[in-house]
Amino acid sequence: MRGFHRRPARVAAVVTAALLALSACSSGSDDKAKADPPPSPAASVDAPDPQSSPEAAPSPSASKGPVLPDAKITPATGSFTKAQKKFLEGRVPASMDPAAVLQTGDESCQRLARTAKRDKDAAVGAIIAGDIPDAADVVEHLCPEQKPLVTAASKGFPDGTKNRPAAGTYRALTTDPACSWRAVGSGGKVLASGPAAGADGTVKAKVPAGTKEFTSTGCYAWLPA
């Protein structure tokens, strides 16, 4: 009988400990849910796959620090093509594997191709807005088939402030209803402003002659209409 009375006490102790553990786990999960907000929506431009991109891979932009001499830009195995080596000149940090820098450029080409396949305007806008760093150099050396995108982008300008724009009609490469703009002339006089959205939701801006400054917000990029 003595053992019979002790067993419930031990069982109660085990149950109590288990309940305390479950409570602690639940509290930890709640705290983590509060600390980790939900991810933001994906951008319209194709983002690189974080699993395939080396963490230390630099931007395709030319390196600002010490770089490998051209003669030492060689892969661990195989060889670079003439175009690949030309792209890498002046871009490989002294302590970096040239192949990692080349991979970053190749991924920019892949992003452009995938985005243009879905929406050419989005790809052109990404170049204008600077979402594809050094797009002109990347395309020239690594994916010349994308040159029409660079050519189209050269005619536009990014969201923000454009000094002395050519008079004419421009279209924003977005359908965001928050897109707004204004054209200012001498003495700060507002000559025109918008948005003026078309039936398809595209915002167009008619920039008058004599515009000294064109300013836009939330419009991503502009191209001649």
- At residue 73, does pLDDT exceed 60? yes
Q: In whole angstroms, how far apart are CA 76 and each of 79, 98, 99, 202, 210?
A: 8, 9, 8, 49, 57
Confidence grade of residue 60 (pLDDT, cut at 50, 70, 90) = low
Contacts of 213 (CB under 8 A, 6+ apart): 161, 162, 163, 164, 183, 184
Looking at the fold, whether 201 and 177 belong to one and the same domain comes out as yes
Split into its structural domains, the chain has a count of: 2
pLDDT computed for residue 199 by the predictor = 66
pLDDT computed for residue 35 by the predictor = 38
Looking at the fold, whether 198 and 143 belong to one and the same domain comes out as no
- At residue 98, does pLDDT exceed 90? yes
Whole domain around residue 110: which residue ranges?
70-153
Looking at the fold, whether 147 and 171 belong to one and the same domain comes out as no
Q: What is the pTM of this model?
A: 0.69
Task: Report the mean per-residue pLDDT for the chain.
Answer: 78
- At residue 112, does pLDDT exceed 90? yes
